[in-house]
Amino acid sequence: DIQMTQSPSSLSAFVGDRVTITCRARQDISNYLAWYQQKPGKVPELLIYAASILQSGVPSRFSGSGSGTDFTLTISDLQPEDVATYYCQKYYTAPFTFGPGTKVDIK
């Protein structure tokens, strides 16, 4: 099975900051990677798929990049409503494993 890691596990930043979260796969997964946002007490929501394609309705301050084993999620202008835990998920082959998550909050 292909394991997924994320870094950092948590971060705190100011409103307006640029925030970057890294996701790594132990093997090449091409661009078969999705990102989800889970706000406190809420259900996860799809942000990005195919590593870099923004899901409809997601603010443009979110972006994704990467291919192969290394991927990033960037929030270009952090807003208070972005406080959440962010998960990457690989869908190259089953099992469709999630990363452990990165918790983002506001300083």
Q: In the complex, which residues of this chain contact another protein (CB under 8 A)?
A: 1, 32, 34, 36, 38, 43-46, 49-50, 55, 85, 87, 89, 91, 94-101
User: How far is 46 from 40, CA to CA, in rounded Å?
Assistant: 15
Query: 90 with 97: CB under 8 angstroms?
Result: yes
Nearer to another protein, 32 or 71 (CB): 32
Beta sheet of 70-75, edge-to-edge order:
4-7, 19-25, 70-75, 62-67
Nearer to another protein, 42 or 107 (CB): 42
3-class state of residue 80 by DSSP: helix
Nearer to another protein, 17 or 91 (CB): 91
Q: How far is the CB of 10 from another protein (least distance, A)?
A: 12
Q: How far is the CB of 34 from another protein (least distance, A)?
A: 4
